[in-house]
Amino acid sequence: MTTLARRLGAFDAAMIVMGGIIGSGIFINPYVVATHVHSPFAILGAWAAGGAIALLGAFVYAELAALRPEVGGQYAYLRDAWHPAVAFLYGWGLLLVIQSGGMAAVAVTFSRYTIELTGAPIADWLLATLTLLALTLVNCLGVRSGTNTQTVLMLLKLVAIVLLIIAGAFIANPAGVHRVAAASTLGGFAAAMTPVMFAYGGWQTASFMSGELKRPARDLAIGLLAGVAGVITIYLLVNVVCLRVLGADGLAATTTPASAVMRIALGDRGAMLIAAGIAISTLGFLSQGMLTAPRVYYAMAEDRLFFRAIAKVHPKTRVPVAAIAVQGIVAVIIALSGTYEQILSYVVSVDFVFFGLTGLALFVFRSRITGPVPVPASAPGAGGHAGRSFRTPGHPISTAIFTIACWLVVAGTIVRSPVNSAIGFGILFAGLPAYWFWHSRT
């Protein structure tokens, strides 16, 4: 039987981590945070706090990767810690809500930016569809093809961000909007943490690629820690230049802060450059999603909890072609339906429920370990060494902080959007009959 090919290393993992986190949000979200907290110190504090929580999450996932270096990553952690039904619901939610809805929305965003930049006479829905199909084809050609595309787009994305940071730090003059801002409240800071946490989300998708990393226990840990640390640095620098050029009040007053900074620095040409950067960033996010998420559906099918054809690996490309095709088709359907904005509003509470459960999974796995766990020399990435290659610093306190932060996001979302949260959980639990159906056939 043909299996997945282990062709990726730590650098690939780091690029996948950063590509999964950095989308178009960092070019826009700083203004959302500034509407909730009103001083530079509080704004940067919110982004620093979100980065700290993301880093704690990376620690947790790095140890879980060392303990369970298996295909599907987070899916495998949830399955082995809790129950196959919990893992199935995660994959179900990923396909129908979390991943596909996000990809549909980002594909349309990419199309609109591209059409605006180029003036191409094409409908945004058609360009979004063609983009999703093209990325589906690229990833069907092999994991190296998909990863190389993702890496190139990630590096181009970094070029755009570095240009923004340099322009804001050294070229643009402050716009004279710095006024003494009102004090920020604790409630405002808590509200600001919601968009910050969303902006940092996405590191977990790199874990889906465990089955194609040469040394998953080592490479994924390095990729997670390096990738998240890099994103924290980038996010803080972007906010520093936005505050320098626009001030706290000016940042809160514009819905396109990156464009505003570049326009002040380089005029209309600067605004066009950053628009191109945002388009590349959205395309990179799409590429990363098409690369990673299908590995979860592949793992579900391997467990006989999904269509068996989804578990087939192409003998030449060594990738799960059917799983990749399913992801592309569902994303296209949602993009064409125009319901992606509604679906995105259902994502938040569902996504962070599984983050919290994954944090708790580390407590479960630790409780099952009574001593050093030898790693078989034949295990991928083991290298013949005994023991785990990574342990979460500060556990159990650090893991508890990450888990509690996830539950607080869920609680806050339910309070603010009870109807959308209820619909999201309704879609999620509609997967239970599907689970029972496939489970009864095993």
| Predicted local confidence at residue 55, as pLDDT | 92
Query: Max Cα separation, the chain?
Result: 68
What is the domain-level CATH number for residue 330?
1.20.1740.10
Q: Please give the pLDDT value at position 65.
A: 85
Report the pLDDT value the prediction gives residue 90, as an integer from 0 to 100.
94
Q: 93 in a domain, yes or no?
A: yes
* Dist CA 63 CA 178 (whole Å): 44
In a domain, 381, yes or no: no
- On whether residue 5 sits in a domain, the answer given is no
The predicted pLDDT at position 230 comes to 94
Q: How many CA atoms lie within 13 A of 353 on its CB side?
A: 19
Q: What distance in Å separates the CA atoms of residue 321 and residue 139, rounded to the nearest whole number?
A: 8
- 86-89 own/partner pairs: CB under 8 Å, 24+ apart: 86/357, 87/300, 87/303, 88/300, 88/305, 88/431, 88/434, 88/435, 88/438, 89/428, 89/429, 89/431, 89/432, 89/435
Is 395 part of any domain?
yes
| Spatial contact of 275 and 116, defined as CB atoms under 8 Å apart | yes
For residue 57, give the nearest of 351, 281, 343, 385 by alpha carbon: 351
CB 68 within 8 A of CB 348: no
Give the three-state DSSP class for 213.
strand
Q: Is residue 303 part of a domain?
A: yes
Cβ contact 47:189 at 8 Å: no
The phi, psi pair for 174, rounded to 5°, reads -55, 140
Q: Which residues are 8's β-sheet partners?
A: 213
Report if residue 364 sits inside a domain: yes
pTM: 0.85
Element (H, E) at 175: none
Mind giving me the DSSP string for 14-30? HHHHHHHH-SSHHHHHH
Phi-psi region of 202 (alpha: psi -120 to 50; beta: other; left: phi over 0): left
Q: Is residue 380 included in any domain, yes or no?
A: no
Do the Cβ atoms of 24 and 109 come closer than 8 Å? yes
Could you read off the pLDDT tens digit of each residue along the chain, which spans 442 residues? 667 778 788 888 899 899 888 887 788 889 889 988 888 999 999 999 999 999 999 999 989 988 888 777 899 999 999 999 999 999 999 998 888 888 888 888 889 888 888 888 888 889 999 999 999 999 998 888 888 888 898 899 999 999 999 998 888 777 555 444 455 677 778 878 878 887 888 878 888 888 888 888 788 889 999 999 999 999 999 999 999 999 998 898 888 898 899 999 899 889 899 989 888 988 988 888 898 889 999 999 999 999 989 988 888 888 889 999 999 999 999 888 877 767 766 777 788 899 999 999 999 999 987 554 444 333 444 443 334 568 899 999 999 999 998 888 888 878 877 888 888 899 899 999 999 999 988 7
Q: Which domain holds residue 335?
A: 10-371+390-440
Does a structural domain hold residue 14?
A: yes
* SS3 per residue for 331-398: HHHHHHHCCHHHHHHHHHHHHHHHHHHHHHHHHHHHHCCCCCCCCCCCCCCCCCCCCCCCCCCCCCHH
User: How many angstroms separate the CA atoms of 356 and 363, rounded?
Assistant: 12
Per the structure, how many domains does the chain have? Answer: 1
